[in-house]
Structure formats: structure tokens, C-alpha cells
């Protein structure tokens, strides 16, 4: 926990305790405890099916939990009486693909939540959106429809849309896995810039470059349990013998 100047403790942006979720007999999340401090960037890694997406979806209340507690800046949002839309308004999310509405211009995509959910006047929302799009080299595409953009440009626009409302937390779920390899770098650069700006991020990724170059912490999920949670530098420096076979075959095959 961070201590404020007054000595009062600030709750983490996200605190998960004992999160469980099963689909039928299949226990997909088996007691997840995780704290994410303000400005921290956490990479969630693990084999396909280990529960990364399900975990992110529970945080955003897109998936219900069977047990556990989700605290967002100290507020228990897992209480069934919670207004899910209000919580989603505090969290930015970007998925693997199909994030942008195809029938809206890039600018309308980026300003939609600001205008409709946060009630920011159109002119102000557009001024801010144009600034954000310009800062990532997409200013000329503001009036275009998404299909005019490359996959990498679309994902960057989707990330800009997710941060346009200044969310307390940004969730990125495999944002580069549908991209051609040569487009991954430009998305990584944007995420790196957001991290440098202090955005609090939890990202599920199969791209080790994201975990190694952008994350402060790496959390390794195996069959619904966290089996490693370490600062990124330590995580990548850990000896091979400390690694599970699954980890080695997936993430360090060349070594």
C-alpha cells in the first residue's frame, strides 16, 4: 500500500481476494489474490486456457464470480447490488480484436463513452480525442471509418478510446494477438507510453516483449492459480530450474 503524506493508506487501484469461477465442473479461477497499485503495470501471462481472459472479465464485471471479493479503489464492486455500468465507466478495456464500432468514424468511436457515459460536451470530447489521436499519429484518420486503418492502427485507436475517459484502470486482453507481427511493435510503443505516463494497467499477453519491456510485475497463471508473482526484472532473471515445464516450453523455448 502507498502511504499518503498524511500517513493515511491509499487502497490499491485493484484488489482481488479469493476469486473463484467455474463453468460447470471446470474450475477456471481457483482462488486468485492480486493487488495492483496506482501507476503499476501488471502483465498476466500463462498458457492458453489458464484463465487470463476470464480474470480480466471478472474485474470488469462482464463475468460473474462464484466466490471472492473485487475492490476497485477500495470499493467492493463484487457486491451484487453494484451498478455494473458505473463500474465499467471507471475501467478502460481493449480486447483482442473488433474493438471499434465499424459504422462510426474513429473520432466518434473515441468520443462515444465520454459523451454518452461521462456526459462531456461533444466539442470538449472531440478536442481531447483529436489531441490523443494526433499524439499517436492518427490525427488524419479521425474522420475515417475503422476499415480504412491497419490492424495496428485500429488497436491503437481502440486503446486511445479506452483511455479517453481517464479510467482508473486499463485492462488489455491480448491486444496484439490478432495482429501481423510487424504491427505488434507500434501497439507496444503506445502501451509503453501510457505506462510511462502513469496509467495503471493489467494486461493479459502472450507477447513476452510486453511483459519484459513494459510491465513492472509479471503474474503467471497456471490452471486458474497464480504460481508466480514477481517484479518483471526478477521474473525474467529467475533460473530455468525454478520454472515449470509449461512456462519453459511456452515462454523460454529458445534458451
Binding site for ligand ATP (CB under 6 A): 23, 28, 46, 48-54, 174, 204
- State the nearest-atom distance from the C-beta of 126 to ligand ATP, in Å: 34
- Which one, 146 or 224, has the nearer CB to ligand ATP? 224
- The H-assigned helical ranges of the chain are 52-59, 84-88, 106-116, 122-135, 151-163, 181-196, 208-213, 232-237, 245-251
- State the nearest-atom distance from the C-beta of 207 to ligand ATP, in Å: 11
- State the nearest-atom distance from the C-beta of 152 to ligand ATP, in Å: 20
- State the nearest-atom distance from the C-beta of 57 to ligand ATP, in Å: 8
Give Dmax over CA atoms of the chain in angstroms: 57
- Which one, 141 or 220, has the nearer CB to ligand ATP? 220
- Which one, 44 or 142, has the nearer CB to ligand ATP? 44
- Which one, 21 or 161, has the nearer CB to ligand ATP? 21
Cα 1 to its chain centre, rounded Å, is 21
Q: d(Cα 15, Cα 23) in Å, to the nearest integer?
A: 23
The string over 101-116, giving b where at least 16 C-beta atoms fall within 10 Å of a residue's C-beta and e elsewhere, is: eeeebbbbbbbbbbbe
Amino acid at each position: 500500500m502507498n502511504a499518503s503524506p498524511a500517513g493515511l493508506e491509499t487502497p490499491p487501484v485493484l484488489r482481488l481476494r479469493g476469486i473463484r469461477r467455474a463453468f460447470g465442473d471446470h474450475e477456471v479461477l481457483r482462488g486468485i489474490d492480486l493487488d495492483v497499485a496506482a501507476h503499476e503495470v501488471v502483465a498476466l501471462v500463462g498458457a492458453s486456457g489458464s484463465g487470463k481472459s476470464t480474470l480480466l472479465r471478472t474485474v470488469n464485471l462482464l463475468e460473474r464470480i462464484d466466490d471472492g471479493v473485487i475492490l476497485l479503489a477500495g470499493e467492493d464492486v463484487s457486491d451484487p447490488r453494484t451498478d455494473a455500468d458505473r463500474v465499467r465507466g471507471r475501467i478502460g478495456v481493449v480486447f483482442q480484436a473488433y474493438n471499434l464500432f465499424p459504422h462510426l468514424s474513429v473520432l466518434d468511436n473515441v468520443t462515444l463513452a465520454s459523451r454518452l457515459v461521462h456526459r462531456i460536451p461533444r466539442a470538449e470530447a472531440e478536442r481531447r480525442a483529436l489531441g490523443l489521436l494526433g499524439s499517436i499519429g492518427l490525427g488524419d484518420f479521425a474522420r475515417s471509418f475503422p476499415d480504412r486503418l491497419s490492424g495496428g492502427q485500429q488497436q491503437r485507436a481502440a486503446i486511445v478510446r479506452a483511455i479517453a475517459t481517464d479510467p482508473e484502470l486499463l485492462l488489455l486482453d491480448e491486444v496484439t494477438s490478432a495482429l501481423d507481427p510487424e504491427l505488434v511493435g507500434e501497439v507496444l510503443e503506445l502501451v509503453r507510453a501510457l505506462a510511462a505516463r502513469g496509467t495503471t494497467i493489467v494486461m493479459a499477453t502472450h507477447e513476452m516483449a510486453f511483459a519484459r519491456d513494459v510491465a513492472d510485475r509479471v503474474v503467471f497463471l497456471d490452471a486458474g492459480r497464480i504460481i508466480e508473482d514477481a517484479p518483471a526484472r526478477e521474473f525474467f532473471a529467475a533460473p530455468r530450474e525454478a520454472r515449470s515445464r509449461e512456462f519453459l516450453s511456452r515462454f523460454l523455448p529458445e534458451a
